[in-house]
Chains A and B, each alone.
Chain A
Amino acid sequence: MSAARRHRLAPWLIVALAALYFVVPLVATAQFSLAGARGGVSFQAFAAVLEDPNFWLSLRFSVLVALAAVLIGFALVVPAAYWAHLRVPRMRQWVELISILPFVVPPIVLVFGIVRLYGGGVGPLASPLVMLLAAYGVIALPYLFRSVDNGLRSMDVPRLTEAALSLGAGWGLVLWRVILPNLRGALLGGSFLVLALVMGEYAIASMLGFNSFGVYMLLTGENEAQQAAALAMIALGLVWLLIGLLQLLGRGDIAANSGAR
């Protein structure tokens, strides 16, 4: 009995200490963001943030850019992964290798390299927006490839394709009406993770001079400590929402090792 109790004590202690470490900063942030004059509660900081047009502009910018990055990433990854699964299995490992290469090039190095290569030039590639989308597309590759690859594994790609082709569908129709609907869960899962990564991203956006959500948070927070805390709570809520949706889908990784960090 006492041995069993002792056995239980250590796990509880570990969980309790971890809960302390993880919950205290959130409580502190919440408290700081809500602290009013003379120890009261005030929603002043939240109101100030929500009334700031720049908050909504930057948030809208980051959402749109993140969605664009997701679309670009899928437009590149889905055809390559699909064809590798269907016809050239040898290519699968190459596509996979290239997809995880962004790990080797941290975001700050990536944006530096892109600016050094294209920044001074003329034409569309020298446009900061193109460079931003390109960098986000690269960051998204590992997560999008993994979710698409898992999705393709879970269906019988050759049989579905053959069935569709034999019924007279063209390649475009096969992708659009047969493969993509079957990939819906994988596509959504990958999207939520990339949205969570890109929405708060700071390094790339600030280097390229964009007023993204991450940049707005830092600029506001530098001057207004309470608004910084309020923004941290809002950002936490957004991440929670996206990861929660991801988990409702019950698929895909929820661990990302680059991006907003």
Chain B
Amino acid sequence: MQQGMERVETALATPRGAPLGGRVGPLAESAVWFVPFLAFSLSFLVLPAAGLVAGSLSGAHGPTLRYLLQVLQPQYLIAYKASIELSAVTAALGGILGVLLSWAVVAGGLPRLLRSTLLTFSGVASNFAGVPLAFAFTSTLGPVGMITLLLDRFGLNLYQRGFTLFGFTGLVLTYLYFQIPLMVLLITPALEHAARWSEAAANLGASTAVYWWRIGLPILRLPLLGAALLLFGSGFGAYATAYALTSGMINLVPILIGQEMSGNVVYSPALGDALAVGMIVVMAVVFLGLRLVQRGTRT
């Protein structure tokens, strides 16, 4: 079968100048298929990103590092720290809770029906984000939310105790609503794989500890790391949820970038560029980590 396919491929990979595609040469012929895709990606992804880098480096009198250094001032550094903390905390918590939930359903001996229910629900919940999610949590844990009022009736006034949905803790609670399901979707295939080995190991007399140390963790190490990186990215880039929840009154980098621009008008371009470049740098590091993990998984 494989051999057969290769033969067809070689038959189709005609030599230079062969008349398969008509008058144009093979290079030009290939270009027709790739150019729209490449031109679009270049125009609306690569060039805008490159433009941000260029903009962040150019001042009124030639190249400058002023704006990039400005980002390192405390007021902006705090925003980066908060954004990174928020993404890291929700990635870690979402990751751990997602794994626990998925493992309970995959290997806990629960009814099979729960598995498909969990996956369907996770698909919905991981996409139920942004403005409506913020509204849902306001109805739940806002100052007059259902749970807030319920606890108040039992003598526990959350807001008098210093809790607020519109700060860091509230954002963590809200982000987990899409982070946990995202983890479940990403990790369930790997956990199912590991669970099959768990039966085999148990049949051969391995204890739970031995199984996890010798089989489970080695199998799951890279998938777990990859999923955690994806969760981090998903939290780091999030804008609408935080904006809607806090009315834009929280010091996160995406919110600051949003403040630099409104209705097609950019207020202080170079600073906005520098803030955006900082986000790209963080995401690029995460992305490289992800590629390394994926390469490790394949071999």
Instruction: Report A's interface with B, CB cutoff 8 A.
Output: 7-8, 10-12, 14-15, 18, 21-22, 24-29, 31-33, 72, 75-77, 79-80, 82-84, 86-88, 91, 95, 98, 101-110, 112-117, 119, 125, 128, 134-135, 137-138, 141, 156, 158-159, 161-162, 165, 171, 193, 196-197, 200-203, 207-209, 214, 217-218, 221-222, 225, 228-229, 231-232, 235-236, 239-240, 242-244, 246-247, 253-261
**Which of B103, B123, B239, B269 contacts A203, CB < 8 Å?**
B239
Measured CB to CB, the closest approach of chain B to A81, in angstroms, equals 8
The dominant DSSP class at the A interface is helix
Residues of A within 8 A of B55 (CB): 116
Interface assignment of B287: CB less than 8 Å from any CB of chain A: yes
B120, B124, B185, most chain A CB atoms within 10 A: B124
Number of A-B contacts (CB under 8 A): 317
Do A232 and B135 form a contact, CB below 8 Å, given A24-B147, A254-B123? yes
With A202-B130, A229-B139 given, name 7 new contacts (CB 8 A): A11-B108, A22-B121, A79-B36, A84-B34, A158-B11, A243-B124, A243-B127
Residues of B within 8 A of A14 (CB): 100-101, 104, 108
Residues of A within 8 A of B247 (CB): 222
Cα of A110 to Cα of B106 in the assembled complex, Å: 38
Measured CB to CB, the closest approach of chain A to B214, in angstroms, equals 21
* B283-A105 in contact (CB<8A): yes
Do A209 and B263 form a contact, CB below 8 Å, given A8-B109, A137-B44, A257-B182? yes
Measured CB to CB, the closest approach of chain B to A230, in angstroms, equals 9
Residues of B within 8 A of A107 (CB): 237, 239
Measured CB to CB, the closest approach of chain A to B19, in angstroms, equals 12
Measured CB to CB, the closest approach of chain A to B158, in angstroms, equals 14
Nearest 10 pairs of A and B residues by beta carbon:
A11-B108, A106-B237, A113-B48, A254-B123, A83-B33, A202-B240, A28-B146, A235-B132, A11-B104, A80-B37
Interface assignment of B97: CB less than 8 Å from any CB of chain A: yes
* A202-B243 in contact (CB<8A): yes
Measured CB to CB, the closest approach of chain B to A194, in angstroms, equals 11
Cα of A106 to Cα of B272 in the assembled complex, Å: 14
* B114-A15 in contact (CB<8A): yes
* A261-B239 in contact (CB<8A): yes
* B254-A116 in contact (CB<8A): no
Measured CB to CB, the closest approach of chain B to A201, in angstroms, equals 7
Measured CB to CB, the closest approach of chain A to B152, in angstroms, equals 14
Residues of B within 8 A of A80 (CB): 33-34, 36-38
Interface assignment of B264: CB less than 8 Å from any CB of chain A: yes
**Which of A79, A138, A261 contacts B129, CB < 8 Å?**
A261
Cα of A84 to Cα of B9 in the assembled complex, Å: 12
Do A29 and B129 form a contact, CB below 8 Å, given A76-B37, A258-B234, A261-B237? no
Residues of B within 8 A of A25 (CB): 136-137, 139-140, 177
Do A11 and B109 form a contact, CB below 8 Å, given A112-B276, A119-B266, A232-B136? yes
Residues of A within 8 A of B133 (CB): 232
B11, B52, B139, B290, most chain A CB atoms within 10 A: B139
* A207-B30 in contact (CB<8A): no
Measured CB to CB, the closest approach of chain A to B78, in angstroms, equals 18
Interface residues of B in 35-50 (CB under 8 A from A): 36-38, 40-41, 43-49
Interface residues of B in 112-154 (CB under 8 A from A): 114, 119-133, 135-140, 144-147
* B254-A203 in contact (CB<8A): yes
* B40-A106 in contact (CB<8A): no
B9, B26, B262, most chain A CB atoms within 10 A: B9
* A254-B240 in contact (CB<8A): no
Cα of A85 to Cα of B95 in the assembled complex, Å: 35
* A225-B121 in contact (CB<8A): no
Residues of B within 8 A of A31 (CB): 139, 146
* A116-B131 in contact (CB<8A): no
* B132-A200 in contact (CB<8A): yes
* B287-A104 in contact (CB<8A): yes
Residues of A within 8 A of B13 (CB): 87
Cα of A222 to Cα of B284 in the assembled complex, Å: 35
Q: Can you name 19 A-B pairs with beta carbons within 8 Å?
A: A11-B110, A22-B125, A75-B36, A79-B34, A82-B33, A103-B283, A105-B280, A106-B237, A106-B254, A116-B266, A119-B266, A134-B40, A141-B45, A161-B12, A222-B247, A239-B127, A244-B120, A254-B185, A257-B182
**Which of B103, B176, B264 contacts A119, CB < 8 Å?**
B264
Cα of A228 to Cα of B239 in the assembled complex, Å: 18
Residues of B within 8 A of A109 (CB): 49, 52, 237, 254, 257, 276, 279-280
Residues of A within 8 A of B280 (CB): 104-105, 109
* B273-A116 in contact (CB<8A): yes
